[in-house]
Amino acid sequence: MGETEIENQFIANIGKWKHQVPENEENDYFFNGNFFVTAKVNEELKPEEIANIYIYIKNFIASKNGKGIDYLQVFKHLETGETLFFIDDVAKSDLEKMTESERKMIHNCTLLFASDY
The total of structural domains in the chain comes to 1
Full residue range of the structural domain in which residue 82 is found: 3-116
pLDDT along the chain (117 residues), means of 10: 57 72 83 96 94 92 91 94 95 88 88 95
Say if pTM beats, i.e. exceeds, 0.95: no
Q: How far is CA 70 from the centre of its chain?
A: 10
Residue 69: CB atoms within 10 Å: 22
Q: pLDDT tens across 91-103, in order? A: 988 988 988 888 8
DSSP for 21-36 reads --SS-EESB---SEEE
The predicted structure's pLDDT at residue 13: 54
Q: Residue 23: is it exposed, middle or buried by C-beta count within 10 angstroms (0-12/13-18/19+)?
A: exposed
